[in-house]
Copies of this chain bind each other. A is one copy, B any other.
Amino acid sequence: MTTPTTNPDDTRSKILDLAELLWLGRGFNGFSYQHISRELGIKNAAIHYHFPHKEDLGVALVQRYRRRLARYIEAQTGLDAAGKLERFLQLADTYYANDRQICPSGSLSVEFHTLPDALRGEATLFIQDMVDWAVAIVKEGKASGAMHFSGSEEDMAALLCAGLQGALQLARLAPQLLEQSKAALRAQLGLPPGGPVT
Listed in ascending order, the chain A residues whose CB lies under 8 Å from chain B are 25-27, 29-30, 100, 102, 105-114, 123-124, 127-128, 131, 149-152, 154-159, 161-167, 169-170, 172-174, 176-177, 180-181, 183-185, 187-188, 190, 193
Q: Is the CB of B158 within 8 A of A181?
A: yes
Q: Which of B110, B128, B158, B180 contacts A106 (CB 8 A)?
A: B110
Min CB distance A21 to B, Å, is 12
Within the assembled complex, what's the spacing in Å between the Cα atoms of A101 and B116? 18
Question: Which chain B residues lie closer than 8 Å to A152 at the CB level?
Answer: 180, 183
When all copies of this chain in the complex are counted, the total is 2
Min CB distance A183 to B, Å, is 5
> Known contacts A154-B180, A163-B181; can you find 14 more A-B pairs with CB under 8 A?
A26-B114, A106-B110, A109-B173, A110-B111, A150-B190, A152-B180, A155-B184, A158-B167, A159-B163, A159-B188, A161-B177, A163-B163, A165-B169, A166-B169
Q: Which of B109, B150, B154, B172 contacts A109 (CB 8 A)?
A: B172
User: Could you show 7 A-B contacts with beta carbons less than 8 Å apart?
Assistant: A109-B173, A110-B110, A113-B172, A152-B180, A157-B180, A158-B181, A161-B177
Min CB distance A184 to B, Å, is 4
Q: Is the CB of A180 within 8 A of B167?
A: no
Question: Which chain B residues lie closer than 8 Å to A164 at the CB level?
Answer: 162, 166
Within the assembled complex, what's the spacing in Å between the Cα atoms of A150 and B174? 23
